[in-house]
Structure 1
Amino acid sequence: MIKVLLVDDEGWNRELVRTFGTWEAFGMEIVGESEGGNEALRLAGVLEPDIVITDMRMPGTDGVMLMNALHNEYPEMKVIVISGYDDFKYAQSALRYGAVDYLLKPIDPAELNAVLDKCRKELEEAAAEHEQYRLDIDVSWSLASHKQLMKAHFNELNVESVHAVLGNITEELKLGSVQSPGMLRQAASEMLLLLKELQRGNGLEDVHLKTEIPGAVLTAPESLECWLRELYTESLEQLIGQRRFKNKLNLEDVRQYICGHYAEAVTLEGLSRVFFVSKEYLSKVFKLEYGINVTDYILRLRMDKAKQWLESGNIPIKTVAELAGYEDVGYFYRVFKKHFGVAPGEMRKQAEGLKMSNPEG
């Protein structure tokens, strides 16, 4: 229910407002009444009304002072002013402090109910906007882990796994408490943005991506999945064709790919799929060229990057772990200590000590 507080020093005026308002029809309820501004301000804090209907001329704290206080402390509250004085200055004050409307006594029931209906609509719109914002955050959160998997599978050209991720997203969206077009549009937009990022990262910048989201796609999670599956599959087919066209394995391309994707789930198997060679062949020729196997090269790259971030600033160790491709911070600690012989925190302390002893270095 929409809560309403009545403020007027004359009881019979409050009675008229109670009588003329079609409260139930608007989903409203009068939760309190006050004879003056001071008491009204106290009740506003206790009852938290959505609408305050107030007279302007009252002893003590008048309507202008009350509206000023409400405007500063509770800016979301709707205020309707009712006054027996056709005073332009009072009307100016009412508008200055955000009054929804300024009504003159004697109260016209039609005018009162019209402004109540206006308040109802504004409150419902504000609530809908708030719900949409909350929903967007929830959708983003639920997509986060799926997007990480999607990156790895797309970069490995694993079509089946990409389809599986889209199916899992559909199941999660179906479990949501609200399956609205707004929720589906948010999911569609985020997955489109991810696809654009994946295209750019794989040299497909020139490939046209349909950014218009058809209305039919927003009718159900299954419809969204079919549409996204078509887009992702089309991009993957283009990327696979591009890679196959190159034919000959270029180890520098492999190394550059690792440098650009080391923070993701890069594996020997995934690389072999990306460059259309066997795992055994890739492992053999990579070690012959660089004197280190693929797995150790990825590990060394991650550790070197982590060391740079630890020594260069105040990035939290958890964030350093994530940037280096480790979701499990505990595992990152163990790998880092095994690689360097010291824990991440100890290395940071050592770096800070060197800076203090050599401030000009």
Structure 2
Amino acid sequence: MIKVLIVDDEPWNRDIVKTFGAWDKFGMSVVGEAEDVDEAFRLTGELEPHIVITDMRMPGADGVELLQALNHHFPDVKIIVVSGYDDFAYAKHAIRYKAVDYLLKPINPTELNAVLLKCKNDLETKAAERQQTAAELDYAFLHKLTRYKQLLRLYFKELNPDGVNMTCKQVIQELESFGSPGPSMLGRLVQELLSLLKELAADNGLASHAAKDGFSLPQDALSSAEHALEFVSACYSQDLDQLIRQRKYKNKLNLEEVRHYMDRHFAEPITLEQLAKSFFVSKEYMSKVFKQEYGQNVTDYIVQRRMEQAREWLADKQISIKAVAEMTGYEDVSYFYRVFKKHFGMAPGEMRKER
């Protein structure tokens, strides 16, 4: 609904405007009336009208001062000037302070409704432009957020709380570069990052704090980008601390847990050193006991899992060989070909033809 404020010291003049305006047709509503400039300025702040229809000559401060004040403090408000005097000086002020139109008394209903329609069209056009701009900013930011989510995934996997906190601070800086984010964008951001946290926690056998029944956002979490990211950072830190305690204080290395971890992350750049660090043992010990248990070293196991998955995906001819390589952790497609042929004795394309 488009809100309208009428300003005139004469009640009957205000009644004429209310009578002649096609309010319902234009989706408008007269939300307030003012008798002087001070009251008009106060009501504009309180009622937040989209359109102000004002007389120019009133007791005390005149309409010129109101135009000046509205133009300075409420630049988005559409102003329609009405005057009983064909005074060029008033017309110049109306133009200077960006009034939509200057109407003479007695008001012509056709002229009034024509300018109201113009205001409606201008307001709707600007609203659509703002929505388009907001959508573009949302898309641009969420696209950049992908990189930060990858970093959060990496640092969580490495049990690196400092890296998680640093990344959350970088997200704040990135978000603030897009201007002042509203609650909608902040809510989307928090939802995206908490969904990732739930996934990471589940991958590591944890019940994330953010996934518990009865979990809710603090009241001020969406009041600013800083509060939103502080909250998300605290959730990540809490789950990461839980995972560190769980692994660090076990009496014995659980090799099944290690293997399940590798099964979930085989497409990522897992190294023996990183794996040992994640489970609080030396890389020498990790290498020795893993080979004793499964008859192959860590690297060979990862390659085997990648190749098994690559063979499954190759069965779907809609997935390109390049995509299969990337999904199994090989950015270099030619290297993927060499590893695949060494493992299966034939190239990926040859295997696909046989199926």
Shared topology, TM-score over 0.5? yes
Shift of the alpha carbon at 1:323? 1.7
SS of 1:312's partner is coil
Query: What displacement does 1:216 show?
Result: 5.6
Residues 1:263 and 1:342: Cα distance change in structure 2 (over 3 Å): closer
Q: 1:155-194 to 2 correspondence within 5 Å? A: 155-174=157-176, 176-181=177-182, 182-194=184-196
The Cα shift of 1:229 comes to 1.8
Match of residue 247, structure 1, among 243, 247, 251: 251
TM-superposed CA distance for 1:264, in Å, is: 2.4
Q: Tell me the TM-score normalised to structure 1 length.
A: 0.59
How far apart, in 1, do the equivalents of 2:195 and 2:158 lie?
19
Q: 1:317 aligns with which of 307, 315, 321?
A: 321
Over residues 251-292 of structure 1, what are the superposed CA-to-partner deviations in whole Å (9 max), with x where a residue is unaligned? 111111100111223222332233222222111110111122
Q: Partner of 1:108: helix, strand, or coil?
A: helix
TM-score normalised by structure 2 residue count: 0.60
Percent of pairs with identical residues: 36
Is residue 217 of structure 2 the alignment partner of residue 212 of structure 1? yes
Aligned length: 244
Q: State the Cα RMSD in Å.
A: 2.9
Q: Equivalent residue for 2:3?
A: none
Partners of 1:128 and 1:211 in 2: CA distance: 30
| Aligned counterparts of 1:172 and 1:166: Cα–Cα separation in 2 | 10
- Going from structure 1 to structure 2, the CA distance change for 1:177 and 1:208 (only over 3 Å counts) comes to closer
Establish whether residue 262 from structure 1 lines up as the match of residue 266 from structure 2: yes
Matched letter for residue 127 of structure 1: E
Per the alignment, residue 140 of structure 1 pairs with: 142
Residues 192-231 of structure 1 mapped to structure 2, 5 A cutoff: 192-205=194-207, 207-209=209-211, 210-212=215-217, 214-215=219-220, 217-220=222-225, 222-231=226-235
Residues 310 and 347, structure 1, Cα contact 8 Å, conserved in 2 = no
Q: Separation in 1 of the partners of 2:344 and 2:318? A: 16
Residue matched to 2:124: 122
Q: Structure 1 residues 318, 187: closer, same or farther in 2, change over 3 A? A: farther
Q: Aligned with 2:347: secondary structure?
A: helix
Of 149, 152, 158 in structure 2, the residue corresponding to residue 150 of structure 1 is 152
Q: Residue type of the partner of 1:194?
A: L
CA shift in 2, pair 1:195/1:211, >3 Å: farther
Give the structure 1 partner of residue 310 of structure 2.
306
Per the TM alignment, residue 339 of structure 1 is displaced from its structure 2 partner at its CA by 4.5
More divergent stretch after superposition (165-174 vs 250-259): 165-174
**Which residue does 2:338 correspond to in 1?**
337
Match of 2:353 in 1: 353
- Which residue type is aligned with residue 354 of structure 1? E
| Residues 300-354 of structure 1: per-residue CA shift (max 9 Å, x gap) | 211221232123332123322332123x2xx24214314424999x834323432
1:146 touches 1:165 (CA, 8 Å); kept in 2? yes
Q: Is the 8 A contact 1:139 1:183 kept in 2?
A: no
Closer, same or farther: CA 253–233 of 1 in aligned 2, 3 Å: same
In the alignment, residue 160 of structure 1 is paired with which amino acid?
Answer: D
CA distance in 2, matches of 1:208, 1:177: 27
Shift in Å at residue 213 of structure 1?
6.3
Per-residue displacement from partner, 1:185-226 (whole Å, max 9, x unpaired)? 433332122112212222223634555264465434x44432
Q: Secondary structure at the match of 1:313?
A: coil
Q: Are 2:175 and 2:181, in contact at CA under 8 Å, matched by a contact in 1? A: no
Post-superposition offset of 1:121: 2.5
Distance across 1 between alignment mates of 2:244 and 2:259: 19
Q: Distance in 2 between matches of 1:201 and 1:282?
A: 20
Distance 1:193 1:289, change over 3 A: same
* CA apart distance, 1:107: 5.8
CA shift at 1:184, angstroms? 3.9
Superposed displacement of residue 296, structure 1? 2.3
Asked if the contact 2:221–2:231 (Cα under 8 Å) also holds between the matched residues in 1, the reply is no
